[in-house]
Amino acid sequence: MKPLELVTPVKVIIADDHVLFRAGVKTALSAKKDIRLIGEADNGQQLLHLLKHLQPDVILLDIQMPIMDGIKTLPELKKSYPDVKIIMLTMHNEHSMISKLMELGANAYLTKNSDPEVIYEAIRTCYQSEYFFNEITNKALLDGLKNKHNADSFAAQEVKLTDKERHILKLMCEEKSTREIADLVGLSPRTVEAIRDKLKSKLGVKSMAGLVRYAIKAGIIDDK
């Protein structure tokens, strides 16, 4: 009989100044055997202090907090802890804010009224595939980034991608995980990750949002 495969829990910290919201998320996640909440913080400053002692895989980060909010905290996190995935939380659905945060390196953006299962899915997806795109983020990126003609650090027509690179970029923009892309193109997940990093370097971008912007302008994905 084949032994059961043990799943290493994803370690999560939540930074939010609303105690009741934190309690609700904590209760919802406590039912998940593959998630372990290892810390809580009231603001960004407290979160950065926690990270001197804890090593999370994913951080749920509220945008609006006293002392140090999520917008100021995000760049500090990406600079000091680049491998930790950051899921931004907010009460508002503002496309300009979503685009800005994704450009700064956020891995996902959720409204606080999201279903607990969506929060769980976002945590697992970010941990496994780096980014979690939903209807909110997709629309914000497609609507916002396609209008930044003058702010682009590159011109789509000046960068030449191979057919394989274009195909893999298209699959990334279609929310396919690294494993799914690897299976579709017949490569290893590690090779797909290497191609993703090469694309970022080749296009002069630092985040998935930058790759989406290029894909729109190059006609690789639809900008409807």
Domains defined along the chain, listed by start: 10-143 (3.40.50.2300), 155-217 (1.10.10.10)
Q: Do 32 and 56 contact (CB within 8 A), yes or no? A: no
CA 161/CA 172 separation, integer angstroms: 15
Please tell me the predicted confidence (pLDDT) of residue 129: 77
CA 92/CA 127 separation, integer angstroms: 24
Q: Do 144 and 98 contact (CB within 8 A), yes or no? A: yes
Please tell me the predicted confidence (pLDDT) of residue 22: 93
Q: Do 37 and 12 contact (CB within 8 A), yes or no? A: yes
| Residues β-bridged to residue 11 | 36
DSSP structure class, residue 154: S
Global pTM exceeds 0.75: no
Please tell me the predicted confidence (pLDDT) of residue 156: 47
CA 56/CA 53 separation, integer angstroms: 10
Closest by CA position to 98, among listed 40, 51, 141 = 141
CA 134/CA 16 separation, integer angstroms: 22
CA 180/CA 186 separation, integer angstroms: 10
Please tell me the predicted confidence (pLDDT) of residue 207: 73
Q: Identify the segments of the chain with pLDDT beneath 70.
A: 1-7, 138-158, 175, 222-224
Please tell me the predicted confidence (pLDDT) of residue 6: 53
Please tell me the predicted confidence (pLDDT) of residue 223: 52
Please tell me the predicted confidence (pLDDT) of residue 23: 93
Please tell me the predicted confidence (pLDDT) of residue 132: 83
Please tell me the predicted confidence (pLDDT) of residue 201: 86
Please tell me the predicted confidence (pLDDT) of residue 217: 75
- How many other CB atoms sit within 10 Å of the CB of residue 162? 9
Please tell me the predicted confidence (pLDDT) of residue 149: 47
Q: Which residues make Cβ contacts (< 8 Å) with residue 36, sequence separation at least 6?
A: 9, 10, 11, 12
CA 73/CA 173 separation, integer angstroms: 27
DSSP state letters, 53-107: T---SEEEEESS-SSS-HHHHHHHHHHH-TTSEEEEEES---HHHHHHHHHTT-S
